[in-house]
Structures are given as C-alpha cells and as structure tokens.
Amino acid sequence: MTSLKQFVEQYDNALKSKIEKENKADFASFNSCFPLITDCDFEKQLQEAYTNEIFKLFQDELRGIIYCNLTITGSHGAVCSILVSDIVRGKECAYRKQVVYNVYMNEEEFDIKCSYQLFEFKGIICRHICKVLIERNVKDILSRYILPRWRRDIKRMHTYVINCYDDPQTNEEKLRYNKLCSHFTKAAELGAESNEKYMFLMEYVDEAIKKSMDNPICKEKFTPMLSEATNVPHQKFLSPLKVQSKGRPPSKRKKSKVEEIITRNKKKVFLCSIIFITSLEFFFYHFINIHAIIGRRHKQR
C-alpha cells in the first residue's frame, strides 16, 4: 500500500518529468525540423507552422498520396465534387482493400471537406485533401486549416504559471507575467466601478498594447529555454502529522450482518473456552484439597 508521503514524492517526480519533456519538445521544435519529402509549397508552409511531432504526422499523410487516385464527378457552381480512391490496410496488414472517399471543394471560399474527416477529429488535413490540393496546384493553405494548438509559435497560457522546478534567474518572463496580471486585476476592479473609469482604462490599455506591438523589440521571436529542474535540490517530504480525523472512529464503524454474526460467534467461543478453563481449574483445586484432607485422616489413624 502506498503511503501519503510516497504518493507525494511520486507525483512530484512525475510532474517534474512532464515539465522537462515539454521544455525539450519546445526546444527541439524551435531549433530543428524534419526535412521535406515533396516539392509542395504547402508542405514548406506547414513545416514552418507545425511542431515537429504534428508535422511528422502530416508527412505520414503525404506519403499515403501514392496510393490515392482522384476522379472529378461534377460541379455545382463553385463547389466541385471529387472521388478519391485509397488503398486501406486491413487488420495486422494481412490484406488491403480499396475505399472511395468524397471530397467537396469550394474554390471561391477555399472550403474543402473530406468524408474521411481526419481534420475534424485530429486537426490535420488528410491525404485525400492533399491529393486534391496538388492536382489543383494550390500553394498556400488558409490559416483556418492550421489549428493554433499545433503551431510552434503559439505561446500557451499554462506555460506562464510558475512551478517549483523553475529557476528564477531563467524564468523572468513568468515573473513579469504574474506581476502584470496582478496589476491588471487591480485595474479591472477599478474600471468596473463606473463607466468613466472603464473607458479611461480601456483607452490607455489599447494604446499601450498598440505601442508594444509596433515596437520592434517586442516582436522578437520567442525561443524557450530548457528547464533547469535537474539542478534544483530535491525537496524532502516529511510524513504528515497525526491529527484526529472527523467522523466515526474505526473501532466504532458500522458492520454488516455477516461481520456481526462472525464477531458474535467468536465471542461465544471465547466465553466457552474461558468457562471451560475456569471449570477445570475449579475441579483440580477441589480435587487437590480433597486429596490432601484424605491424606491427613490416614496419618491420624
């Protein structure tokens, strides 16, 4: 059974390992990339946008294009209907079968959908859409098909939260973020008091944001730093103090009927054994006394 102290230590180690892996993955995405496997312009676009792990999944879809063939079935105005046949592997790669998927493309709004629905489920465009894009000579993909959660240049909000493994000297950005949040919280409380204060603060905040965005120093590309968690001394966790818990004590907890019967039988056996032992002691005591009295009488005679 794992004690509370062991659980806290194991959870602490797991959290530290997760943070280190995230920092290493971010560092790798910003300083390395997978090589291109095609000459498509949109592959180069996604290479610069996606993280390494997501771009690797997208390249797996690009490799599957060699098994795809398309046929244009018709068009209704700007909407074009296309059938894309694909060879799908069966279970354990024992056999392959051909499956046909429907791809609908609106060339005016550049809205494209596939019945395979990989983008709807995983946020990555599938090989069937890639096949259509290549045939249509599409060079760039709209930003709505590049989800923010897969982008390497998106700063995620949870990374601003300070944890116990951060080195204060290498995490000044988190300290600045927390100080700004505390100041903006006070400003929000003041601005909510009246409409005049609200308009006054909103005007100055918008102006400050605009000036910060126009400043070239504020546009520097963010490059995350590896965590110095390994250099942080290990924290020693002590056992919790024993305190009286609330509720019914363990000795007075409610028992089931089966437990009550078992306990009652054990008590009966225990009482019977005590009575039996007491009876034997009483018998031997009187037997010895009687034997002693008879012995005295024989001596007197």
Per-residue pLDDT of 53-101, as tens digits, reads 899 999 999 999 988 998 888 888 888 899 999 988 766 666 688 899 9
* 276 within a domain of the structure (yes/no): no
57 shares a domain with 139: yes
Tell me what pLDDT residue 143 has.
Answer: 87
* 106 within a domain of the structure (yes/no): yes
* 61 within a domain of the structure (yes/no): yes
Note down the domain range covering 108: 33-150
Report DSSP state, residue 237. P
50 shares a domain with 73: yes
146 shares a domain with 100: yes
CA gap 112, 104 in Å, rounded = 6
166 shares a domain with 62: no
* 5 within a domain of the structure (yes/no): no
Report DSSP state, residue 100. E
Last residue of a domain, one of 189, 207, 231: 231
* 237 within a domain of the structure (yes/no): no
Q: Which is nearest to 22 in space by CA: 209, 130, 166, 236? A: 166
Please state the pTM of the whole predicted model. Answer: 0.52
CA gap 209, 45 in Å, rounded = 29
135 shares a domain with 54: yes
81 shares a domain with 163: no
Last residue of a domain, one of 178, 208, 231: 231
Tell me what pLDDT residue 128 has.
Answer: 93
* 167 within a domain of the structure (yes/no): yes
Lowest model confidence (mean pLDDT) among 181-190, 241-250, 260-269: 241-250
69 shares a domain with 47: yes
Q: What integer best gives the mean pLDDT of the chain?
A: 78
Lowest model confidence (mean pLDDT) among 53-57, 80-84, 206-210, 241-245: 241-245
Give exposure, 123-136, as e/b (b: 16+ Cβ within 10 Å). Answer: ebbbbbbbbbbbee
* 265 within a domain of the structure (yes/no): no
146 shares a domain with 41: yes
194 shares a domain with 108: no
Query: What average pLDDT does range 159-172 have in this prediction?
Result: 60
Lowest model confidence (mean pLDDT) among 28-32, 54-58, 129-133, 169-173: 169-173
Last residue of a domain, one of 150, 173, 201: 150
Query: What average pLDDT does range 103-122 have in this prediction?
Result: 89
* 292 within a domain of the structure (yes/no): no
Number of structural domains (the chain) is: 2
